[in-house]
Each structure stands twice: as structure tokens, then as C-alpha cells.
Chain A
Amino acid sequence: MDFLILNKGFPILSVLIFLPLAGAFIAMFLSGDKVSRVWALIVTTLNAIISLPLYSAFNSSSYKFQFAEHQAWIPQWNINYTLGLDGISLLLVLLTTIIMPLCILASWRYIAKRVKTFMICMLVLETTMLGVFAALDFILFYIMWEAMLIPMYMLIAIWGGPRKVYASTKFFIYTLAGSVMLLVAIIALYLHSTPHTFSIPMLMGQPYSTTFQVLIFLAFFVAFAVKVPMFPVHTWLPAAHVEAPTAGSVILASILLKMGTYGLLRFCLPMTPQATMTFMPYILWLSVAGILYGGFTALAQHDMKKLIAYSSVGHMGFVTLGIFVLNFRGMEGAILQMINHGVTTGALFLCVGMIYERTHSRELATATGVGKYMPVFVTFFAIFSLSSFAFPGTNSFIGEFLVLAGGFAKHKLVTAAAIPGAILAAAYMLRMLQRVIWGGVNNPSHDGLLDLNTREIVTLAPFLVFVFWIGLAPGPFLSVMHSTVHHLLAQVNAGVAHPALACLP
């Protein structure tokens, strides 16, 4: 257990995970829409505040899992309740806890029916998402991974748009079908490890045979690629994004998609390094295909949510590209880009939601020319759009730059092929921005359109802070992941160089 730095005192991770669940339980007994809203806001804000000390207490010079907790759970199968954070999951946990209260704020007006149930779903969702990022036992991870589908399904199926039934069922079945083989792979890993274990760090660097690695890698890859989503298994995403309520879209884009890339980093690379090397070229090209496909499709959309959804496919393509070039820059860029995408795309979905609340349409054509009536709104919208296509000075520039720098150092052709994606991103974002701010001579009338109120500004402001903070001073975000990324790459290289003597965690 030397890969864990056990947390002796306050069990901060358990509290973070189960506080929202307890909050959801108490929310069942509350009555009144207002009370439920305020309660959910209190619980998620409290969770965000509790999570902040994680950053300052994190020892960034160590690659070990920190704040760890370890408790026997099902001794018959050596299943444990193990939690811990390293440089990768720390940022994702913080992203989750900070975005949740903002999502509650964004749903203040938007959700008008069955408010209590909505808030319960959101709180349960927070528990499962934090559980996914903090779990260090494979069964615990899988339970959180699958359990997350229930509240997310409810969010889309109950509060979604006109095709909510189609979208929610597609989302559920797509993701579930993707991960059934994950379970078989997990059991197979357990049976092939010595000693038999479900502990994620202990499963890394075991001397699995190449064939076995290939099979395990494929099972993992299908599950995670669906979640990312990588081209060509992305088709659930636009449907789910378009129909989901604003908060659902934000959570989908900011956090759920990250679970896919998190899974690739956490499991595929260190557990099956040889298979990673085998499949690397194909995945790189798939990433490029996703970047270009997402870009071209986004260019053709009339629905703003769909446009941003397809842009997500492109952005996540950059992330998988960065991960699979397997060098330091690329991987750091990819992890930073995961956070950036969470911030930027989340904010863009919030913006679209705000227009939708006013015009009850997500069509680009009906939203043309709102700039005249909503100057504050379009300022936010413009900054987030610039960030989305990696304008220098904004957060995505740093991430994309690192990914491309890493890419050119290793695979010039592949990376060059991805470059048009960056230009496409500028094209579709500027096209949308032009329409929304100015439009043309035949704009629909927007009389009586109100600009953002204080609640909405408060919701968007934190995103703005992060856009510029990461954009201008990415140091604090990159420094926490240095040693983890170094260690991860060392694990991969060792696994490739000496398959049988792979380095232990």
C-alpha cells in the first residue's frame, strides 16, 4: 500500500462524496420549490468550500495518491473502499465541486416543474461523479460509473426537450452497452493479477501477456471512447446535449465527457502499455477524424446547442490526441484541455440556456442580433467563444498549444492533419458569434429582451475568471500534475520496454 498516502484525520474525500447524497436524502423530506433550490445550493456550495483545501494541502512533488482512505468492503473478493487523489483527479474533483453550485444557480428559473426531484438528481449526480474520480478500487469505480447513468437519465428524460425520450434512452443504452465489457475486463484483470486484487494502482504494471493486454485494452477503450465521445461512437452526444436541460448539458460537457479521457489515462495507459503502443496510431487518426468531423459538422448547424455539442467532439479529439502522443507536453496539454473544455463549453451551454430562457428557442436564426439588447450577455458570450477556438490569452490556447507542441515533437503528419480543426473552430464560433451579436438586416424583433440579471452574472463570472486565469497564468494548474504525468509516462515506457519487469506502482 505504499502508493497511498493515507489520510489520518478528517476523511475529506468520503465527506465530499457522501455529503451531496446525505443532502439528497434530506431533500426528500423538504417541501416547496424555493426551499429545495436553496437547500441544493447550500449543499453544493458547502461541498465546493470543503473541497478547496484539497488544492493547498496537495503535495505536488509526489505522484502518490493523497488524502487516501482505505477500508475493507467485500473481503471475499478482496474488494475495498479505497479513495485517493493524484495530480489528474485532483483538478477534476475541483472542477466538479465548483461547477455544481453554478449549475444549481443556472437552473433556478429554468426548472419550473418537479423542482425537488431535479435537485435530488443533481445531488446524487454529484456524489457519483466525485466517486468516479476519487475511487481507487475498480469495483467502487464501476459502481459509481454506472450509477451515474440513473440521475443523468432522469435529468434528460424528465426535464428535457421535445425528443427527450429518444435522447435519454439512446444515452443510457449507448453508455451501458459500451461498458458491459468493461465489467468483464475488470473481472479478468482481477483473475490475472497476483495477488488477486481490484485495487487500481496494484493492477498497474502487472506482467500481462500481450494478447491479454490487447483484449483488455479493447474492452476499456470501447467503454471510454463512448463516454469521451470519440468519432465514430459520438452519436449519442448531440442528441443528449440538445434535449438535456441547461444544467444537464453543462454537466455532460464539463464533467461526464472527462470521465472517458480520465479512464483512458487512469486505466488504459498504465495497465496495458503494450496494447497502448499497438493501438496508438489508430487512435491518433481517430482523434484527427473527430477533430475534423466535429468541426465540419458544427459549421453546418442551425441549433446552437447542437453546434456546441459537435464542437465538443472536436475539442475532445484534441484531448485524446494529446494523451496518445505519449509525451510530457502532450499529456499535460490534454489534461489541461480537459479542464479548459469543462470551463469553456460549460459556460457556452449556460449562455445558450440563458438565450433559450428568453426566446424559447435554440435556433441560431431566432437569436440573431440580440447584442443590441443584451450587451452584458454578448460580452460574456464573445469571451467564451474566443476561448473555445483557443484565442491567445484564453485558457484553451495554453491547452491546445501544449497538445500541438507535444504532437509535433512525435507525429508531425498526424498533428499537421489536426491543424485545420483549429481553423474550423474559429470559423464556426465566429459564424455563431456574428449572428448572435449583430445578425443581418432582417433580424427578428427582440423587443422587451432583458439583459442578464445578477444571478446570471454571478453564475457566469467564475467561468470568466478561470478562462483568463488559466489563459494568462497556467502555472498553478500545471504544477500539480507534473509528477503524476512523469510517473504515468514512466509506467508506460517501463511497460513497453520490459513487459515482464514492468515497474510496480
Chain B
Amino acid sequence: MNIMLFAPELFLLLGALIVFLLSLSDDHNSARNVALAAGLGALILSAGGMNRGGLMFGGAYNVDLFSQLFKIMITGGLTAVLIFGGKHRGIEKRVRPEYYLCLILSTLGLVMLVSSVDLVAIFVSLELSSFSLYLMLPMRSTEHGLRIQMEAGIKYMLFGVMATGIMLFGMSYVFGLTGSTSLAAITAKLPTLVHEPAAVVGIVMILCVFMFKLAIFPFHFWVSDAYEGGANETTAFLATVPKLAGVAMLIRIVNLINPSEAIINFLAILAVCSMFYGNLCALRQKDFKRMMGFSAVAHAGFVLLGILTFKEAGYATSIYYILGYLVMNLACFMVICKVSKSGENVPIAGLAGLYKRSPLLAFTMGLSMFALAGIPPFAGFMGEFLLLAGALQAGHLTVVILGALNAAIAIYYYLSVVKVTYCNEPEADTGPIRVDIGTRAVSLILITAIIFIGVYPSSLLDMASAALRLAF
């Protein structure tokens, strides 16, 4: 067994242990620095090990280009969140070291999840990541008398545990029918069980938990409350990084089954419902994070468009799309973290006059909003276009038309954020926002990435396709 294959995970684990020791004291600054170092180190290690591959732990753990790509995105997301989170003022001061611990452990769980090719390994990594997240949500500072985070935490946990339960139920069916927990063995046996409804039901039940992570309708009920209740830094993480693993696992699990009319229609209906539900609800929101929660539901619907083609090109587009989504969401949550003075929620109206308070943040916000709305030449448009083109090629004309209509609905709420940012004057009691060097750097990287991903998708698509060919 080559230890280097497991290096990013080991590095994160090491970081988690050091943060654990530091959490015995009250030194939250060094805890943060260690967490940042762990994230950065894991990012470098997974990028360096991009072309390595091999099976580990008795075939339960598969390191290949597919998993490495997702590991780069996940650890990159963690690093960005830690940098622009700054001192994490939104988190209760006495639990900050523990917060960093949970953050690293949650990332570790996600990093392991994308490599897991065994039902048990999937379950263990998923729970490692989810339980850390359950803890992170209520760690929000109570300085302002906020109790909303408790509701968010409980809601997220109840829904999450429920989804996990459904997944376990599904796994038991699949195990019972195939006699194995290894995905490779299951793939080999499943085609003989096409006419077995229990197999389809089992797989769909496993899918539920990842749809829950992605907040696809009707597994979305937690999303707006959890986004609103979590600290800005927590939501920035919750809204971006777990979604990556969600897409990776959706692709892995969906790939197990032969597409039947029923499954495709099921996914298509979920996709359309997610888009409409998310976009229509987002129209009415006043709180920025809540709006982004509903926008996440709509975008998750778009991701499904790639998956329901059941083709390698479609999966590759979904990966490309979620990469763009990661970058766009990180950009706008970064702005929110900086605009919020002491960790309070930012209403959309609170962005008024941002162009004067910080031109860079305003530009980042404007760009990411246009990108999320699918206006070219940014990442959101190219992803949306490729997904629609792929779905139309697979013959889903109705879904494509409804998806295109959604682009027109969505523009309204994204545009209203741009309007507030650029056209309204700042409120009297607000001054300029100081943006530290690290955040500036992250901001420039994100802006460049949003444009680059949108203008030059071919190499990224090639890489995603190559990864999929190797993985399946």
C-alpha cells in the first residue's frame, strides 16, 4: 500500500489532532492557523498526487483521478473558507478551536467519501462529515441574543439523520440482493436484477442522502433555515464543500444502475421541481443567505440535468457545473462574511452602497451574481448551456425548455442584489470595509476562476471526462 495515496487524508487527520490538542487551551488563533495549514497542505498533496491511483483497504477505498479532482476542489474550498473567514467572529469565542476541529473533520469525511467504493466506507465517511456539520451549526455566537442557530442545528440534524436512515435501509436491500458491500461487486451483479423492484428502490433510497446534501426537492426543507441560522462562515462552508461530495457520490451511485424510463423520469421531475421551487421561493427573500439557500435548490436541479442523461459527457458537465458553482458561491459568501461586522446576518438591503464601501467586494458580488444568473461569459452560463445542450441531446426537450425558462425567472433576484450593491447609496452609519490581503488574494483568484472557467471550459471538461473514464 502506497502511503502517498492516502497523504491528503493523513495530513488533515494530523491537523485535526493538533487542533484537538490546542482546543484544550483557549488559543483560537493558532488553532485557526493550524487548520489553514492543514487545508493548504491537503490541497497541495491532492494536487500533487493527481495522477496517482490505486485501491486501498481491501478494495474499499479507491484513489483515482476522479476522487483526486474532487479532493482538490474540497480542500481548495476549505482553504478559501478559512482564509476569508478571518477570525471567525461569527463563532462563539470559547468554542472556536473546537469549531476548527469540526471543520477539518468534516472536510476529512468528505475527502474520504469521494474515494469510498464500499457501502460501509461510504457510510462511515459520510457520518464523519455530517456529524461535524451538525455540531458546527449551533456553534454560532450568541452575542446578539441569537437563538436561530439552535433551530438550524436541530433541523439539519433531524433531516440529516433521517436521510441517513433511509440510506441505510436502501443499503440493506442492496446488500441483501447482491451479497456484497463493494460497489464493484454490486455493479457486476445488478444487471441481473433489473426486474427486481427492490434493487431499484434500494438504490433510490441510497441516492436520497446525497440529494439531501445537494438540497434537491423534496429533500430541501433544511436548506433555507440552516443557511440562515448558521454563522456566515459556517454557511459558506455548508453551501459549497459538501455539495461537491454530493455530486461525486450521486454520479457513483447512479452509475450503478441501468437507466430505465422510470428512473430518468423520476430524476427529471425532481430536477424541474427543484428549479421552479428554488427560483420562485428565492424571489421573495429578504435575507441574503436565505435567498442563496433557495438558489442552491434551483442550481441542484440543474446539476441533475447532467446526471439524468446517464452518459459520461453528462456526468462530466455536472462536475464542471459544480466546480463553477463552488467558485461562484465562495465568492458571494466571502463578500457576506466581510460585510457582516460582527457575524450577524446580512439582509440584501444591507449591501447598499457596497461599491463605495469596498469596490473589490462589490465587484466580486456583482460578478458572482451575474455568473449565478447564467449571464455569459461567466462560469454559470457555460455550465448551464452545456447541461441544457446535453439534456436536449438526450431528448429531454420539455425539461430543457422549463430549465431555460427558469434562467429568466432567476435573473430577477440576482439582479436585485446587483442593484442594491451598485445603485443604492450606503446607509449613514456604515463606513468603508477593510479587506485583508488574504481575502483580496482569494477574491482575485475567485474572479479569475469565474471568468476562466466560463471562457475556457474545454480542458476542464476533458479532465472530468478522463477522470470518469478511469473511474468507471
Contact = CB atoms under 8 A, between A and B. Distances in A.
Nearest to A75: B458
Interface stretch (A99-107, A143-151, A362-370): A143-151
Contacts of B393: 187, 191
Interface in B385-417: 385-386, 388-389, 392-393, 400-401, 404-405, 407-408, 411-412, 415-416
B42 to A, nearest CB: 31
Given A184-B400, A184-B401, A188-B392, A143 B408 contact: no
Contacts of A153: 415, 418
Interface string B415-447: 110110011000000000000000000000000
Contact residues on A (Cβ < 8 Å of other chain), bracket: 35 or more
Interface in A246-273: none
Contacts of A168: 419
A233 B436 CA distance: 48
A77 B386 contact: yes
B385 A154 contact: no
A183 B388 contact: yes
Contact of A184 (B392, B415, B422): B392
A362 B234 CA distance: 51
B375 A169 contact: no
A183 B458 contact: no
Interface stretch (A88-96, A171-179, A378-386): A171-179
Interface in A181-215: 181, 183-184, 187-188, 190-191
A158 B423 contact: yes
Interface in B354-391: 355, 370, 375-377, 381, 385-386, 388-389
B423 A191 contact: no
B312 to A, nearest CB: 11
B355, B393, B401, B423 pick with most chain A CB within 10 angstroms: B423
A35 interface: no
Given A76-B313, A180-B404, A181-B404, A146 B375 contact: yes
Contacts of A190: 389
A73 interface: yes
Nearest to B405: A180
Contacts of B143: none
Given A73-B458, A146-B381, A173-B412, A157 B422 contact: yes
A169 B408 contact: no
A441 interface: no
A73, A76, A173, A190 pick with most chain B CB within 10 angstroms: A76
B41 interface: no
A21 to B, nearest CB: 11
Interface string B433-472: 0000000000000000000000001100110000000000
Contacts of A147: 375-377
Contacts of B422: 154, 157-158
A187 B313 contact: no
Contacts of A146: 375-376, 381
Contacts of A73: 458
A74 interface: yes
B376 A172 contact: no
A176 B462 contact: no
Q: Is the interface of B mostly helix, strand, loop or mixed?
A: helix
Nearest to A179: B408
Given A76-B458, A187-B400, A143 B392 contact: no
Interface string A102-130: 00000000000010010000000000000
Q: Is the interface of A mostly helix, strand, loop or mixed?
A: helix
Given A76-B458, A77-B389, A190-B389, A169 B419 contact: yes
B372 to A, nearest CB: 13
A139 interface: yes
A234 interface: no
A73 B382 CA distance: 13
B408 A173 contact: yes
A184 B388 contact: yes
Interface string A63-83: 000000000011111000000
A39 interface: no
B411 A143 contact: no
A187 B419 contact: no
A74 B459 CA distance: 9
A165 interface: yes
B419 A165 contact: yes
Contacts of B415: 153, 169, 172-173
Contact of B388 (A75, A117, A172, A187): A187
B401 A172 contact: no
A157 B313 CA distance: 40
A191 B418 CA distance: 35
A164 interface: yes
A187 B389 contact: yes
A180 B407 contact: yes
A187 B399 CA distance: 14
A18 interface: no
A183 B406 CA distance: 13
Nearest to A77: B389
A142 interface: yes
Contacts of A180: 404-405, 407-408
Given A117-B355, A176-B375, 4 more contacts: A169-B419, A173-B408, A180-B408, A187-B385
21 contacts: A73-B458, A77-B386, A143-B377, A143-B381, A147-B375, A147-B377, A150-B370, A157-B422, A158-B423, A164-B423, A172-B411, A173-B412, A173-B415, A176-B411, A177-B408, A180-B407, A184-B400, A184-B401, A184-B404, A187-B389, A190-B389
The 4 tightest CB contacts between A and B, nearest first, are A143-B376, A177-B408, A180-B404, A74-B458
Interface of A: 73-77, 114, 117, 139, 142-144, 146-147, 149-150, 153-154, 157-158, 164-165, 168-169, 172-173, 176-177, 180-181, 183-184, 187-188, 190-191
